[in-house]
Structure 1
Amino acid sequence: MRSTPLHPVARLPEEWSASLAARGERSFAAKQVFHWIHRRGILDPAAMTNLPARLREHLAAEGLGEVLTPERVHRSEDGTRKLLLRLHDGATIETVLLPSVSGPGSQAQLDADAAAADDEDDEADAQAGATPRTRVTQCISTQVGCAMGCGFCASGVAGLKRHLGAEEIAGQVLLGRAMLEEGEDLRNVVYMGMGEPLHNYEATARSLRLLTHPEGINLSTRRVTVSTSGLVPEIARLGADFGGQIALAISLHAADDETRSALMPINRKYPLDALLAALRAYPLPRRRRITVEYTLVAGQNDDPAEARRLAKLLRGLPVKINLIPMNPIEASSLGPPGQERVAAFQEVLTEAGYSCFVRRRRGDDVSAACGQLVLLGAKPKVRRALG
């Protein structure tokens, strides 16, 4: 039983129908309210001009309003924008807007399936004579801080402060869409910001339903990727609840339990055998693949022998592999290997038959790159080399 009422921004249309019907409102009012919030991005009841005054007053009394306040925009030289957002209780989170860039290998390798969908749209636009638009991927957060404690990630430096509500997760996308620049379209959303999405399962699942609802933003499930450090029961739950339609990314980062446990404490609870079994059981649609994220940490997991172990470990799974040279963080003395080491690791996997990409570094000059989102004011505890 829910102990607190749902925030208005977190309600689905059927929940609006039930609550408004109890007040004697007409049935179509529920769709109107949901449209205002999730399709038009309007959270001020006074601006919902086609609603009766009494309903607007009721929505205001229920607390409908902005759930996130943008405090600062950090703009990278490559066009990436990191938004610092203030929550109602004073806590802060970060979300990142990643415009596509031109050039070989330029597509941010966050979700290759979504990228393929973008390519289809581009072809359709070209045939219709439409002006090409800039695709934007938004990386969103699900927690204030993080409990996972991965050795290469800044988000967990101060531990977990609290979960975000579904309204705060979906609200990042509403705000990000409102902050797009001329000629930009929000195409993809990746749950790869601060926090472990599946550790906050209920709010993550509700936000997915909000973002993909046909009466709202109506994101295709092909364009939404949830990344997890490997919470095995919740992987199964995500697959069952969404029929495998939500794209799944796994933060793997090692091919043996000893190395992975040193880098990622969650591996002690859900070791590789259990994780790989969960991936094999995930109800993946035909021609879709799981994304394997592998952060290369110098001297820890970047040896070509480790690449061979990884190739063997993943054999038979429908996967694509994103290699991520570790982005430096203040809380760690760990760092990335050199380019030659990265290329040698990639070559092993490519020769083994895998689609393997090296993720292009985006936004690192404003600490917006993978693993660099941090809780404002967190005091870093420096992590030395592991092992």
Structure 2
Amino acid sequence: MFTAYKFRIYPDEKQKELFVKTFGCVRSIYNKMLADKIEHYKKTQKMLNNTPAQYKKKFPYFKEVDSIALANAQINLQTAYKNFFNNPKTGFPNFKSKKNTRRSYTTNLVNNNIELKSGKLKLPKVGFVKIKQHREIPEGYILKAVTISQNGSGKFFASILFKYEHEVIHKEPKSFLGMDYSMHDLYVDSEGNKAQYEHFYRKTEEKLKREQRKLSLMKKGSKNRAKQRIKVAKVHEKIANCRKDFMHKKSRQIANVYDCVCIENLDMKGMSQSLNFGKSVHDNAYGSFINMLSYKLEEQGKYLVNVDRFYPSSQLCSVCGYQNRETKDLSIREWICPQCGTRHDRDINAAVNLRNEGKRLLLNQINKNRGALGVSLL
């Protein structure tokens, strides 16, 4: 298996200059190769297999940076190009913009050109860079690659990829949790608990508006505008860091307690583009939360079950199974089952139904697998 640890690095001025040059060269080689591929395809209707080495004579500055970083840019372009031809819905590769505030490049371990030791990280062409290693690397982890990135506020980071041996032993699922998406609370679970999400973007929105307003009034290209842009980037960075911290802690709590989590397979992108929910959907970042929860469950041999989005979780009575079609309206937050008389909170009832349906789907799959192996069924 593979895992990556992200650490902040503190390059000196020369190293910063080389990092920025490498970011630019990686972007430039990607764009030049893509432009040549497009031109070649228009002329011949065939794919051009070009490499960074073909451009170094004409553009000598490519020789000044890490050649593996350029090779990785070629691999990324080739993958994007093939993905488009295999499935046009993925979209045609775009040219990389010079204005993108987040810049990065990836280099691979070849002949011990990368080392991590004594609070320093050795990188090709750069040498040793000071690193803030806030966590120990477990024994047996093999370093494979490093991605250097710079965020909008100007900070540099190294994301170090490791390979390690890990056999995932799937557990017998005993504890189940259903989670229904909530625009306001992030989620409501089948035990009646809410995430108590703090809405970090909404809380900081006024401050962000003030800083962005100042930025918009400044002259383009001025030093004051450059300073103000960093201030705006720092506000965005704080929002993202607070959100990420909250979600990592919450997903870890759930993954440690439950063997199986059952959720609804929602189209978050479609939801953000409709009903004026864009800011709220992007603020709580439910998709990112589910991704964190998924890998934390997987590494422990636990399960995340996706229930079909068309399953009527909010319409079914979790006690008797009666389907109340009148609850389709989102303004109805509570309802009484006409058949058994149970009073339901819309979100909690939906979470219970998702838990029951997810449990059924998972146990059926386990039974099928065991039946195929000739093992006694649950």
* TM norm structure 1: 0.25
If you compute each CA radius of gyration, which structure gives the higher value, 1 or 2? Answer: 2
**More helix, by proportion:** 2
* TM norm structure 2: 0.26
